[in-house]
């Protein structure tokens, strides 16, 4: 074998091995599934600090191992009756494997003008809400809360750039704190799109 042929064989072999190395390096195994390694390096739900309607810190790390539906809510919106379906979903599936977190927001049509105490009273009196409700925050604009920056920016969540379009916009987060997808405000909490994800 001539030197030129030998060098070509060596070069091709090195190229092939480098491609294999990249292929393996780009995979990170998580619960038996291969996911992009950059996903493992992205922020997770557990990296943020939030406060409940009662003014007490809410420990997001307590949700490890659970699927989580995150939703921005409002008390004076045409979609406010979705609270009923949210509670129905929570009654059926909330617990060790699934959680709902509501974030009141006054960003759309000023439809959540009340204080945290007033929001808590409204949710309990009208819909018997028992899933965790957080202190009112901004979900868009200059004062956007860091958790919503994460939910809406691909550079932080590794999934996509999303826009919170109205009250009751939903985000689904997996058992490892990674964002999975968004669900539009008009989609009911008990829609098959959400139910199939919660129960699979």
Which residues are part of the catalytic machinery?
Answer: 77
The residues, ordered by sequence, that sit 6+ positions from 184 with a Cβ below 8 Å of its Cβ are 165, 169, 170
DSSP character at residue 53: T
The C-alpha atoms of residue 66 and residue 115 are separated, in whole angstroms, by 29
Backbone angles phi, psi at 165, to 5 degrees: -90, -25
Instruction: Report long-range pairs for 43-46 (Cβ below 8 Å, ≥24 apart).
Output: 43/150, 43/156, 43/157, 44/176, 44/177, 44/178, 45/147, 45/150, 45/173, 45/177, 45/178, 45/179, 46/177
Crossing angle of helices 192-199 and 82-93, in 10° steps, is 20
């Amino acid at each position: 074998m001539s030197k030129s042929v030998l060098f070509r064989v060596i070069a091709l072999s090195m190229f092939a091995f480098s491609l294999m190395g990249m292929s393996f390096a780009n995979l990170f195994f998580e619960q038996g599934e291969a996911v992009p390694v950059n996903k493992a390096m992205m922020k997770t739900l557990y990296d943020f600090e939030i406060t409940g309607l009662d003014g007490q810190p809410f420990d997001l790390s307590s949700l490890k191992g659970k699927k989580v539906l995150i939703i921005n809510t409002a008390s004076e919106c045409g979609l406010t009756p979705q609270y009923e379906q949210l509670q129905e979903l929570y009654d059926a599936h909330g617990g060790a494997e699934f959680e709902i977190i509501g974030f009141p927001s006054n960003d759309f049509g000023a439809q959540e003008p009340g204080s945290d105490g007033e929001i808590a009273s409204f949710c309990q009196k009208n819909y018997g809400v028992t899933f965790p409700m957080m202190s009112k925050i901004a979900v868009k604009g200059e004062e956007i809360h860091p958790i919503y920056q994460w939910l809406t920016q691909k550079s932080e969540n590794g999934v996509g750039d999303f826009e919170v379009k109205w009250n009751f916009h939903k985000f689904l987060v997996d058992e490892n704190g990674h964002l999975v997808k968004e669900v539009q405000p008009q989609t009911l909490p008990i829609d098959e799109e959400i139910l199939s994800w919660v129960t699979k």
